[in-house]
Amino acid sequence: MNDLIEALAEFRSKRVLVAGDVMLDTYLFGTVERISPEAPVPLLNVRKKTYALGGAANVAYNLVSLGAKVKLFGVCNDNDEAGRILLRMVDSEPNLDNCIEIDRTRKTTLKCRLIADEGHHHVARYDEEIRHEIDLDIQKLMSYRIIKLLSDVDCVVLADYSKGFYTEYLAQSIIANAKDNGKMVFVDPKPANIRYFTGCSVVRPNLKEAVEITGIKCKNEDTDLERIVKKLGDIVRSPYSLVSWKGGVIVYDSPSAMCKKIMTKTRDVVDVTGAGDTMIAALSLGMVSGLDINGAAELANHAAGIVVGKAGTATTTVDEVRIAIGKNGY
């Protein structure tokens, strides 16, 4: 427990570069009193509209909430409403450095969730997005700007949501140059792009994504989780691989050929939205603050466990994590 608490104290001194698909999460809250006369669907009477940073921007916001200073790279359109709101929210955070590139040829990615009955009933969701790869000139500019800043950060987090930001060229450029600068690269990947991230330091998908990447179905958690996390590490050629699932997280430390399951303490799950973002944020900070992969995974599991107890796209703080660690007896 002392190691985890000591690592938390180091978070405020850390600087992290985050790159990936930035997006805006929108929530429409209201009540459903009847079915629409036009179709057999609930009619939501909207009472409130809120916004949250989503995708890679939420990873960055999680890092800031945990005390780190962050440089955020991504692409959005400042000519659409979602892009303007996203940029204002990023600029309003004093520890979040806006390195987002403007691309007016593509729509800013937006996820809108319709929530009824005081936040307890998710009625529907609609997305606005363009998923084709970003222009090669922007990829090259992004790579150049990121490489210039690598010496100023403690680690790099690549947050992939398969919305077009990542190409093999851009991902491999970042990974190769980060290695040359002695920086760890943490990756939260989507299965379709997994080959882009070969050679990263740590890879962390959820179980559904890991099953798709490895082709191994999880029929027995006692045996198949270990097979999945090991094959994941082999595919990405990463020294450390993690897979999160409803019971916690399983870690494979390739250099020592050791697997470890870290179970989540029982808690009420309100909303799993953004839990993976919290996990990769806390995991990266844990490792650059002196924890080994297992200690960092334990800390990240605590952080993600706090977030699933909150509604919507949520974050946690060092104080909340410290309390959770103490309550769970680590």
Does residue 269 carry a pLDDT above 70? no
Strands (E), 69-167: 69-73, 75-76, 96-98, 101-102, 110-116, 121-128, 155-159
For residue 40, what are the contacts with CB-CB under 8 A and spacing of at least 6? none
- C-alpha distances in Å from residue 150, one per residue of 60, 133, 147: 16, 24, 5
pTM of the complete model: 0.93
Residue 167: the pLDDT is 97
Q: Rounded CA gap, 82 and 11, in Å? A: 31
Does the annotation mark 277 as catalytic?
A: yes
Tokens encoding 157: 């987090």
Q: Which residues of 231-270 are buried (b: 16+ CB within 10 A; e: fewer)?
A: bbbebbebbbbbbbbeebbbbbbeeeeeebbbebeeeeee
Residue 330: the pLDDT is 44
Which of the two residues, 87 and 330, has the higher pLDDT score?
A: 87
With contact defined as beta carbons under 8 Å apart, do 22 and 86 qualify? yes
Tokens encoding 60: 């960055």
Residue range 9-26: mean pLDDT, rounded: 97
- Closest C-alpha to 278, from 111, 109, 146, 159: 159
Please state, rounded to an integer, the average pLDDT across all residues of the chain.
93
With contact defined as beta carbons under 8 Å apart, do 251 and 297 qualify? yes
Q: Rounded CA gap, 64 and 61, in Å? A: 5
* Domain boundary assignment for the chain: 2-327
Task: Tell whether domain 2-327 is in CATH 3.40.1190.20.
Answer: yes
Active-site residue, selected from the candidate residues 103, 188, 277, 319: 277
Strands 69-73 and 15-20, bridge-based pairing? parallel
Residue range 124-131: mean pLDDT, rounded: 94
Residue range 154-172: mean pLDDT, rounded: 97
Residue 326: the pLDDT is 81
Q: Which residues of 8-25 are buried (b: 16+ CB within 10 A; e: fewer)?
A: bebbeebbbbbbbbbbbb
Helix axes 2-10, 275-288, angle to 10 degrees: 90
Name the percent of the chain lying above pLDDT 70: 93
